Amino acid sequence: MLNIHHVRGNTFAIETGMAFLPFYQLNRQDIILLDSGFFSSDRQALTETLQAHDFRVKGILCSHAHMDHAGNIQHLCNLYGCRVAAHIIEAAIAATPDSFRKHYGIYTSDDHGGVEECFTATDIIMPHTQRLDFCGVTFEILHLPGHSGGHIGIVTPDGVAYLGDVLMGFPQLAGSKMPTTQFLRLDLESKRSLHQLQANAYIIAHKAIFEDIHELIDANLRCLEGKVQDVLAALRGTPTRGEWLIAFCEAHRMHARSERSFAILEYGFNSVVTYLEETGKVVSRRVNGNRRYKRRLK
């Protein structure tokens, strides 16, 4: 059975092996869950924990549709008949396995990933939504795109801000090899915007609870900016993107142990390359069918 941490008021967090899954308690039995964890490693323990405490999941608020956040949504819907709220972008991505795989592009042809992450949202969060009335409770919605297109943060009625994956905790920053972000420019903007957020407590999905996050925000920004410089430093001559990625991996002695690991690495690398083009540090052109990159001359 998983440990449950009291955060503030009616806001709690279930501790899984890799994350905190917050929930807001409506009454003795009914809860609103914020994200749902991995289906492979979290499902059995999460289900047993909910049952042991006689909890009934009335609703699930999804921060984004990545596998470690959406893996048990449909499973819990099948058990409890609960409502699901998600940003319109994430809801569309998670509608079918094909849309999930195509959008994230991190699965191989023999990988069945995306099946368990799929769910049908009953409540759609639009890009202009600031407050969401959900299962009789009003939550504040923080639009924090970048890690994914429709990534959101959620503030409970207790003033506790669940920030999903917009920030990494200090241990994760220390071990970070490549940011798993889809739109780096937006991700940086979302991180910077958190300096203006005032909450009573902050829950980071992987895996910390803070009363103040200003130092953590700056550490995350430094980490991302450092990765950008590392990728730029690996650019020599006019390589293809694949050649550039190999040069980066060799420079940092990074060796993916599986096809999926390499695909996730490539996913983050591509985001950095796009950012370098957007900021004018790198230019590209197609040569004999291959797109080649070089530094922009000052």
User: Which of residues 162, 195, 224 is at a domain's end?
Assistant: 224
Cα–Cα dist 191/221, whole Å: 7
- Residue 95 is given by DSSP the state T
- Give me the phi and psi of 87, to 5 degrees please: -60, 145
User: Which of residues 171, 195, 224 is at a domain's end?
Assistant: 224
Residues 239 and 136 in one domain: no
Contact present, 150 and 61 (Cβ < 8 Å): no
Q: Domain span at residue 42?
A: 3-224
Q: What was the pLDDT predicted at 105?
A: 64
Residues 167 and 250 in one domain: no
Cα–Cα dist 34/51, whole Å: 17
Cα–Cα dist 161/196, whole Å: 13
Residues 24 and 89 in one domain: yes
List the end-to-end C-alpha distance of the chain, in Å, as a whole number: 58
Does 260 map to a domain?
yes
Q: Is 19 helix (H, G, I), strand (E, B) or coil?
A: coil
Residues 94 and 197 in one domain: yes
Q: What was the pLDDT predicted at 14?
A: 98
Cα–Cα dist 144/156, whole Å: 16
Does 229 map to a domain?
no
Q: What was the pLDDT predicted at 180?
A: 87
Residue stretches of the chain with pLDDT short of 50: none
User: Which of residues 197, 224, 251 is at a domain's end?
Assistant: 224
Q: In what order do the strands lie in the sheet with 3-8?
A: 3-8, 11-15, 20-25, 30-34, 56-61, 83-87, 123-125
CATH number of 95's domain:
3.60.15.10
Q: What was the pLDDT predicted at 114?
A: 63
Count CB-CB contacts under 10 A for residue 231. Answer: 24
Residues 131 and 53 in one domain: yes
Contact present, 83 and 47 (Cβ < 8 Å): no
- Per-residue pLDDT of 93-108, as tens digits, reads 999 988 887 777 665 5
Model pTM? 0.94
Which residue shows structure tokens 């921060």? 63
Q: What was the pLDDT predicted at 278?
A: 96
Cα–Cα dist 250/247, whole Å: 5
Does 171 map to a domain?
yes
Cα–Cα distances in angstroms (integers) from residue 242 to residues 4, 80, 103, 163, 286, in the given order: 44, 46, 20, 33, 14
For the chain, the domain total comes to 2
Residues 66 and 31 in one domain: yes
Residues 20 and 112 in one domain: yes
Structure-token pair, residue 221 = 């920004």
Residues 288 and 212 in one domain: no
Residues 205 and 290 in one domain: no
Residues 176 and 243 in one domain: no
